[in-house]
Amino acid sequence: MKNHAELLNRSLSPAQKDLVQKIAREAAALAMRAYLVGGFVRDALLGRAVNDFDLVFEGDATKLARVLARTYGGRVTVHQAFHTATWFHSNRPSTTGLDTISKSARSTRPSAQDNEAVDLISARSETYDHPAALPTVQLGSLADDLRRRDFTVNAMALCLDEDRYGDLADPLGGRDDLQRGLIRVLHPRSFVDDPTRLFRAVRYAARYGFALAPETAALIPDALAYVDKLSPERLRHELDLILDEENPVPMVEALWALGIAGSTRPALPSGDATRTRVEWMSRLPSHVNEKVEMRWMIWLMSCSEQEIRALDKRLAFTSDLSKKVQAATSIWCKLDWFAGKRPSEITQRLDKFPENAILAASICAPQGQARTDLETYLAKWKNVKTFSTGETLMKLGVAAGPRIGQILSDLRAAWLDGVIESKEQEIAFLGNIITEEKF
């Protein structure tokens, strides 16, 4: 067991180090060993930025969570089926003691940067009643916990206890596989027990530039039959994680090449046009915030309405995402419509669609009039407004009602088409409309 105290200290921010040492001291008082496990160790050994923050304890982590809340304040959420808890804490001194303790389903895990919450995980063993099932969990040792994990590179732990601080536990050869650049499962039934590991194998291999160990790659064909047994939520979660990567393109290509994307019903699109568009996933503008949604739109943009409905059902899309995918498809499938259209006509049509759907279509559209119009709409036309308002029109004698909206629409169209180019011209244009209405 090699010591990596310096590596551990370098990889933790001062606030994180203070937090984990505080937790480790309370765990030691309960005769529980404390470890940082999995992705933290993997990325620290690779010298990469650390994003995962898994704290594992040999003992009941839910008991530790309650002690931490009593001692330092905050509240605890217990996930009893998995023997885990989330401690929502604060760096400010607490005067309330133990706050609410609730029992609920597994929740979204806080990130390593979240200084207000931390997951506390009991070392455990897992068994699977049938392929693709959620595991049955029992408390166990650190060795049990490492053996239940997906790949050797994720099955390492750094001890946080004062007497063994920085000791590396690596019983399955994870560090050697890191040095060789290999993704290796821990046992032959790994992909069958949990087919989400197929997606994670692809994601880790592409992220780090690793290869699948030959015996691991050989297990994939027999596991493909179980991919479609995954629930919509679990399947979609793994795909979302891929689309949230800095460069998901080689990951999606690997899903196609290995037959994983084609193992769902319906299969995820993979035609030539789709493959060409997917290459744009890594070239999203820096200002795009909802990159996972954007990448879903790019991937599914040429699907028919019926195909989107089927994928929506299989992957449990949110209502918002489903609408955006449909919108991007509506734009993409009618790029020829833009030829010869006035800016006002284009704006009237595009105003009905979500902005990100328009952006997705503009990114993928070939060079030409349609792409130019989409880009111009986003950069200029969508922001065009009139000086006049409904209040202005009513002061000029226009009765409240639909006619006000129509006049304002006509004014905006005149601006868009270059008929109006100044406030003075708008006033004159509006005056002509009012005069005509009176006669």
Q: How confident is the model at residue 90 (pLDDT cuts 50, 70, 90)?
A: low
Which residues partner with 211 through β-bridges?
Answer: 182
User: Which pLDDT score is estimated for 438?
Assistant: 62
Q: Which residue has the tokens 């179980």?
A: 226
DSSP-based three-state secondary structure for 183: strand
Look at residue 357 and tell me whether its pLDDT is greater than 90: yes
110 shares a domain with 214: no
262 shares a domain with 115: no
- Dist. CA 89–CA 117, nearest whole Å: 6
Q: Which structural domain, as residue segments, surrounds residue 37?
A: 5-180
Higher pLDDT, 320 or 113: 320
Opening angle at CA 41, ends 39 and 42, nearest 5? 60
Name 289's Cβ contacts closer than 8 Å, sequence gap at least 6. none
Please give the mean pLDDT across all residues of the chain: 90
Q: How confident is the model at residue 87 (pLDDT cuts 50, 70, 90)?
A: very high
222 shares a domain with 369: yes
- Dist. CA 322–CA 337, nearest whole Å: 23
Q: Which residue has the tokens 């309405």?
A: 305
Higher pLDDT, 439 or 419: 419
Q: Under a CB-based contact definition with an 8 Å cutoff, are residues 377 and 354 in contact?
A: no
Could you tell me if residue 49 is inside a domain?
yes
Look at residue 98 and tell me whether its pLDDT is greater than 50: no
Strand 182-183 to strand 211-212: parallel, antiparallel, or no bridges (unpaired)?
A: parallel
Domain with 350 in it: what CATH number? 1.10.3090.10
- Dist. CA 391–CA 385, nearest whole Å: 15
Look at residue 101 and tell me whether its pLDDT is greater than 80: no
- Dist. CA 291–CA 244, nearest whole Å: 7
What element of type H or E holds 103? strand 101-103
- Dist. CA 248–CA 234, nearest whole Å: 18
Domain count, the chain: 3
Could you tell me if residue 413 is inside a domain?
yes
Could you tell me if residue 185 is inside a domain?
no
Q: Is the peptide bond before 266 cis (omega within 30 degrees of 0)?
A: yes
Rounded to an integer, the average pLDDT of 309-318 is 95
256 shares a domain with 135: no
pTM over 0.85: yes
Beta strand residue intervals within 104-243, DSSP E? 117-122, 124-127, 136-139, 157-159, 168-169, 182-183, 211-212
Q: How confident is the model at residue 433 (pLDDT cuts 50, 70, 90)?
A: confident
Higher pLDDT, 106 or 201: 201
User: Which pLDDT score is estimated for 108?
Assistant: 39
372 shares a domain with 243: yes
389 shares a domain with 356: no
Look at residue 95 and tell me whether its pLDDT is greater than 50: no
User: Which pLDDT score is estimated for 47?
Assistant: 93
User: Which pLDDT score is estimated for 435?
Assistant: 79
Phi, psi of 336 (to 5 degrees): -65, -20
142 shares a domain with 57: yes
Domain end position, chosen among 156, 180, 204: 180
Could you tell me if residue 188 is inside a domain?
no
61 shares a domain with 105: yes
User: Which pLDDT score is estimated for 94?
Assistant: 37
- Dist. CA 189–CA 193, nearest whole Å: 6
Side chain identity at residue 231, one-letter code = S
- Dist. CA 84–CA 62, nearest whole Å: 6
Q: How confident is the model at residue 431 (pLDDT cuts 50, 70, 90)?
A: confident
341 shares a domain with 204: yes
Q: Which of 291, 288, 279, 274 is nearest to 249 (CA)?
A: 279
Domain end position, chosen among 146, 180, 214: 180
Domain end position, chosen among 381, 403, 426: 381
Q: Under a CB-based contact definition with an 8 Å cutoff, are residues 365 and 336 in contact?
A: no
Could you tell me if residue 212 is inside a domain?
yes
Q: What token pair was written down for 434?
A: 């009012």
Domain with 121 in it: what CATH number? 3.30.460.10
391 shares a domain with 366: no
Question: What are the Cα distances from residue 182, in Å, to 151, 152, 176, 204, 241?
Answer: 10, 9, 9, 10, 20
310 shares a domain with 207: yes
Which tens digit of pLDDT belongs to each residue from 195-248? 999 999 999 999 999 999 999 999 999 999 999 999 999 999 999 999 999 999
Look at residue 84 and tell me whether its pLDDT is greater than 50: yes
398 shares a domain with 430: yes
Side chain identity at residue 374, one-letter code = L
Could you tell me if residue 84 is inside a domain?
yes
Q: Chain centroid to CA 201: how far?
A: 17
Q: Under a CB-based contact definition with an 8 Å cutoff, are residues 358 and 350 in contact?
A: yes
Could you tell me if residue 12 is inside a domain?
yes
Could you tell me if residue 78 is inside a domain?
yes
User: Which pLDDT score is estimated for 400?
Assistant: 86
Question: What are the Cα distances from residue 402, in Å, to 321, 399, 414, 420, 436?
Answer: 32, 9, 19, 23, 17
Q: Which of 99, 144, 155 is nearest to 122 (CA)?
A: 144
User: Which pLDDT score is estimated for 285?
Assistant: 83
- Dist. CA 290–CA 244, nearest whole Å: 9
